[in-house]
Amino acid sequence: MIRKYLIFPFLLIPILSWSQYEVTGVVTSKTDNDLIPGVIVIEKGTKNGAQTNLNGQFSIKVSDPNAILIFSFVGMVTKEYSLKGENKIIVETKWDCNKDFFDANSIRIYGQSGLINNPFGGQIEIASPYIISGGVLDASYSYQTNSEKNTFHRGSLEFKHPISNCDFDIDFRISYRDFQFENQFDNNAYSFEIDLNLSRISFIAGYTNLDFNDLTTSINQNSSGVLIGFGTKLGKPLFPELVGKISIYDDFIEYQGRIQGSYKRFLLFLKYYRLSSFNELSLGIGYSLFY
């Protein structure tokens, strides 16, 4: 009788071993395909778990070939994976969307010089604290002159990223340009623009209006058109942003370009503007303050 009881546990061992189903795999980031160490792997409905190693690999024994595995990690969207009989798997995960914007509560002051027509000038930009939906109001004004006949004004009011999710954010902007040039032109233009920002790429579109006054012929032309543009963010050094826009009117094309970067609190930009025979290349150096 005692021998029968001794034999019984040994009969259970192969049965228990057979009921354990070993699964191996690797966890990667869907964004950049990096291997992710330290991810917690749990068999759903149990306390059975494992953890990925430095190479993002894991091994876990589950009770059911069709079990569901739960993958979790700080800053990562928790993911459930149904095995469906698989025992070697690759799991792609997404990082949680907590976008950080660093453009609020700032005042940026520039000295600038036009390298073609208007050598003297400056620019100021003021950004509000975060308001509705995390957006920021940013106002900008610049003035350049040659201390004689030429003046060049630019300004904008922008509502930055009030609409934002993991994949994109949107900016809304009103801008104007106004210049007087050697008693030849007295012109102004304004635009309503929308930026669609996708990772490091931006697409810009809008409506624009031009009041073109030719002082030499006393001819005034008022026309509306479309504005289109493109922007991108580059890497080190200075992490510059490159933006180019064109406005297409009935008889004119207006060109605007800008490359702008920063190092700590120091700021630098180079801007280009052209309309008809007037063009300007402006260099600006500035400093950023926070309040």
pLDDT of amino acid 66: 93
Residue 235 — very low, low, confident or very high, per pLDDT cuts 50/70/90? confident
Domain boundary at 55, 72, 93, which? 93
pLDDT 10s digits, 113-161? 999 999 999 999 999 998 866 789 999 999 999 998 899 999 999 999 8
Domain boundary among 35, 59, 93: 93
255 within a domain of the structure (yes/no): yes
Residue 266 lies in a domain: yes
Is the CA virtual torsion 32, 36, 39, 44 positive or negative?
positive
Say what the pLDDT of residue 15 is.
43
Domain containing residue 247: 106-290
Res. 11: pLDDT tops 60: no
In the predicted model, what is the mean pLDDT of residues 30-53? 90
76 and 127 in a common domain:
no
**Residue 67 token pair:** 């079990």
In the numeric block, which tokens belong to residue 187?
Answer: 């012109």
Q: Of 71, 93, 115, which residue sits at a domain end?
A: 93
Give percent above pLDDT 70 in the chain.
Answer: 91
> What's residue 10's pLDDT?
46
> How large is the average pLDDT for residues 100-104?
75
**If pLDDT is split at 50, 70 and 90, which confidence band does 33 have?**
confident
pLDDT of residue 97: 66
In a domain, 7, yes or no: no
Claim to verify: residue 72 and residue 121 sit in the same structural domain: no
CATH number at residue 86: 2.60.40.1120
Whether residue 31 sits in one domain with residue 124: no
Shared-domain flag, residues 75 and 213: no
226 shares a domain with 128:
yes
Quick one: tokens of 285? 């150096």
Same domain, 143 and 49: no
| Helix, strand, coil share (%) of the chain residues, nearest 5 | 5, 60, 30
Residues 126 and 267 in one domain: yes
Regarding whether 211 and 162 lie in a shared domain, the answer is yes
Query: Residue 227: its pLDDT value, please?
Result: 98
Query: Do 121 and 236 lie in a common domain?
Result: yes
85, with CB counted inside 10 A (0-12, 13-18, 19+), is exposed
Query: How far apart are the C-alpha atoms of 110 and 142, rounded to whole Å?
Result: 9
User: Average pLDDT, whole number, for the chain?
Assistant: 88
d(CA 72, CA 86) in angstroms, rounded, equals 20
Tokens 């690797």 — which residue? Answer: 26
